[in-house]
Amino acid sequence: MNMTSNIPAPTLPIATPETTPASVRARSAIELQAASVVFGTGETAVTALSPTTLKMASGEFLALVGPSGCGKSTILKLVSNLIRPSAGVVLVGGREAAARKLRIGMAFQNPTMLPWLTIEQNVMMPLKIVEPFKRSYRQDKKGAFRDRVHALLKQVGLGDFANHFPWQLSGGMLQRSNLCRALIHEPDLLLLDEPFGALDQFTREELWQIMQDLYLDRAPTVLLVTHDLREAGFLASRICVMSARPGRVISDEPVTLPQPRDIATIYSPEFVEMTQNLREMIAQARSS
């Protein structure tokens, strides 16, 4: 895609390796068919997600918003195959989620860095596990991969912290490392669970820019969970609103503003109107 952003674009250090075949990408990236999730059995059963149907085309950027506890994280876990649906079907890249047709990068809501590894080693972990990087991990971990990790960390402002341990970083810094770990292996499908939650406004806007450039450049499919309506409006090509627990999708609208967007867009009348509408919808969803 194009890179006609009028903001100087920080580029990601990317040497694109073989990606998922076009035949797979052409199909819808994610398809939930009446998928529901119930935790536990009998009296203690909790419905985390009532039957939800949701379809995402390849290359779409979908923002998922909704009140706390409505099952947004649960949807991400379904797609990344951490949990199986209690009923219904979850297809990723046209196959069962367990088949792992797409290369997934996930940023968890809580940045769970492995405490015995430095930030650099943590961020490098996908390169150790995911094909095709895995094959050359031994040769490249001290060279190309390391440079790549450092460049990415630098881009999110963590250049000086590569050799620190997770407990030596602040919450927001951990979240940025978490984001790096989701991006480093150039996934086809990005699952981001409130990745900018613990950041100050300016850092957040900076990362929005990076995220947008990355999206426009590589066109991955992105499923972003967020509580920030401006974030959803700025980044997404489509916004889904979920109802209160047990959640289901109550609104599904494309964002018509042209991309790339610039931070000033946020203050434009159309944008404000859009977020106002979303806000009301969520307010209703909460009270119902």
Partner 1 sequence: MSDNLRTRFLSTSLIVGFFLLWEVLCIILNVSDLVLPRPSEILVTMYNRFPVLWPHILQTLSTTLIGFAFGVTIGVALGVIVGTSKVAYAVAYPLLVGFSSIPKVAVVPIFVLWFGSGTTPAILTAMVICVFPIVVNIATGLATTEPELEDVLKTMGASRSEILWNVGLPRAMPYFFASLKVAITLSFVGAVLSETVASNMGIGFVMMTASSNFQVSLVFAGLILLALMGVILYAIFSLLERRITGWATRGNDIAIT
Ligand X SMILES: Nc1ncnc2c1ncn2[C@@H]1O[C@H](COP(=O)(O)OP(=O)(O)OP(=O)(O)O)[C@@H](O)[C@H]1O
For Cα atoms 238, 244, 247, give the angle at the middle one, nearest 5 degrees. 65
Smallest distance from Mg ion to CB 35, Å: 17
Instruction: Note whether 104 and 265 are within 8 A (CB).
Output: no
61 touches partner 1 by CB under 8 A: no
Instruction: Note whether 76 and 224 are within 8 A (CB).
Output: no
84 touches ligand X by CB under 6 A: no
Q: Which is nearer to Mg ion, 122 or 226 (CB)?
A: 226
Identified binder of ligand X from the candidate list 5, 19, 20, 109, rule CB under 6 A: 109
Structure tokens at 121: 């080693």
Bridge-based pairing of strands 221-225 and 238-242 is unpaired
Instruction: Note whether 76 and 225 are within 8 A (CB).
Output: yes
Q: Which is nearer to ligand X, 90 or 214 (CB)?
A: 90
Q: Which does 257 bind (CB under 5 to 8 A by kind): ligand X, Mg ion, partner 1, none?
A: none
Instruction: Note whether 255 and 237 are within 8 A (CB).
Output: yes
110 touches partner 1 by CB under 8 A: yes
128 touches partner 1 by CB under 8 A: yes
Identified binder of ligand X from the candidate list 52, 74, 221, 275, rule CB under 6 A: 74
Q: Which does 27 bind (CB under 5 to 8 A by kind): partner 1, ligand X, Mg ion, none?
A: none
Distances (CA, A) of 5 to 62, 155, 215, 262: 20, 17, 12, 8
Smallest distance from ligand X to CB 108, Å: 11
Rg (CA), the chain: 19
Distance between CA 84 and CA 37 in Å, rounded? 8
Q: Which does 81 bind (CB under 5 to 8 A by kind): Mg ion, ligand X, partner 1, none?
A: partner 1
36 touches ligand X by CB under 6 A: no
Interface with partner 1 by CB under 8 A: which residues?
Answer: 80-82, 100, 104, 106, 108, 110, 112, 114-117, 125-126, 128-130, 165, 167, 181, 185, 191
Q: Which residues bind Mg ion (CB under 5 A)?
A: 73, 109
